[in-house]
Amino acid sequence: MKFDVVIIGSGLAGLSVALHLAENHQVAVVTKRHLLDGASNWAQGGIAAVLDSGDSYAQHIDDTLVAGAGLCDETATRNIVEHGREAIEWLIAQGVPFTRDGSAELGYHLTREGGHSQRRIIHAADATGHAVQVTLEEKVRKHPNITLLENHYAIDLITSDKLEQKSPSPQCVGLYVQDAASGRVITIAAGHTVLATGGAGKVYLYTTNPDTATGDGIAMAWRAGCRVANMEFIQFHPTCLYHPYAKSFLISEAIRGEGGLLKLPPEAGAAAGLRFMPEHDARAELAPRDVVARAIDFEMKKRGLDYVHLDISHQSPEFLQEHFPTIYARCMELGIDISKEPIPVVPAVHFTCGGVVTDLHGSTDLAGLYAVGETAYTGLHGANRLASNSLLECVVLGRAAALEIGRTPRAVHPALPQWDESRVTDADEEVVISHNWDELRRFMWNYVGIVRTNKRLNRAQHRISLLKEEIDEYYANFRITSDLVELRNLVEVASLIVNSALLRRESRGLHYSRDYPYTLPKALPSVLSPERR
């Protein structure tokens, strides 16, 4: 198969690239499952952008820099923030049904979330990601120049140094993908390849991410020779619903933006009902996510709790159903009436702030390869992502990458080597994969969580080394499966997270170390290069 551009991933970043390029390019979108199965579809809160005269670029930039704990790239931050309104106008032009407000300047309701000094979050009730994705999905499915390869797993990139006729400098020339239904491996030649595979939340035991978030793009880029940065900064969302029958259900930050209070549950004994955030930060419930997540983690460990309470019951049922219909309905299904009682919540892995190093056009270290969205490291998120900046980055950088690809001469497709299964057999025991997957996610949760120590990190590093040996041997000897592909990528990403964390000898943003509790005067990113492995 041959295309001008192949995009791996079908979230907001990937679909933005596809729609911007499809008029003049033959585009393929490769996605593990269906188009709506990524993290973008799950996003509740909204998209941050300067849309009101009472707000300014300077304030949005400053809020981002403060949340990023001194580690944001100011040039990248300014570029993305200043293209925010343009990004929102493009989405509105596509038909995204943002929540309206007749009294507002633009005619759309803006809410406020933790870390923001102004109301600047445009949203579609409390299911913004779904509204955006459904709108773009319809356009992508109808476009004659876009080929959809759903239920196809990207296995690895093909680089020119692996070809018989090697080019003077390495470049990405295509990739191998597996058809999940038949198991057949397909070779795809591409003039440009875009990694838009999202984050790596599934490397941890508890996450708000969908099952597709296995760090595939980051792992593939690393194996292809690209630098990776700031992987130690894993954002734990403070408020994931704690319930035995609700997997990974996120309680939006906007609940706290609209007055929700964090309190101790009855299991806290005499302290039950105590609002604890003012003791941890002057901004209380509106502090950035890392501060809130650490405060909840502290209270849970101090008091032996499994969860804490988020209480917005002072708001009327009508207000809650209007502003948070998805959360209200889901909680009601589970027997929780949020207009009368608090919501049990617990922190969970939510966002990967680091990723594949790119410029502001999505270009990576490897010619012909781009990365956008959560897969990429642009410098915007620093040591902690400001709420609702991620979808903004997806649209802005998606368009920028498409423009860069459009300016680049079309590549001549070389002859690519086919996938060779002549020396492998069917796996004899699939239990090896499921056991290693479970072990990895558990020790990452226990050793590389919200609070870290060198001892725990070194333990994790040792376990990862053993797992990698097992998985590499398995990969070399048996036919691949989707579970094996994902496990191989997760172990690679786990190694990058731990190695980055060991490099950082301070506490900053989302990385908190008991061995280095203080913040160094100069903030530097943690950049890993494959040559130094």
Q: How far is CA 191 from CA 149, 179, 357, in A?
A: 17, 21, 20
- Among 13, 414, 369, 361, residue whose Cα is nearest residue 157: 369
CA distance 218 to 176: 16
Tokens coding 95: 């038909």
3-state secondary structure of 116: coil
Give the Cβ contact number of residue 86 at 10 Å.
Answer: 12
Q: Cβ distance 250 to 292 under 8 Å?
A: no
For 436-467, give one letter per residue: b (16+ CB within 10 A) or e: bbeebbebbbebbbbebeeebbebbbebbeeb
For 219-251, give one letter per residue: b (16+ CB within 10 A) or e: bbbbebbbbbbbbbbbbbbbbbbbbeeeebbbb
- Find the radius of gyration of the CA atoms of the chain: 22
| Tokens 């998209």 -> residue | 47
How many CA atoms within 13 Å lie on the side-chain side of 372?
Answer: 37
Could you give phi then psi for residue 227, rounded to 5 degrees?
A: -70, 150
CA distance 151 to 333: 31
Catalytic residues: 289
- Sign of the torsion formed by the C-alpha atoms of 468, 470, 475 and 481: negative
Q: Cβ distance 214 to 201 under 8 Å?
A: no
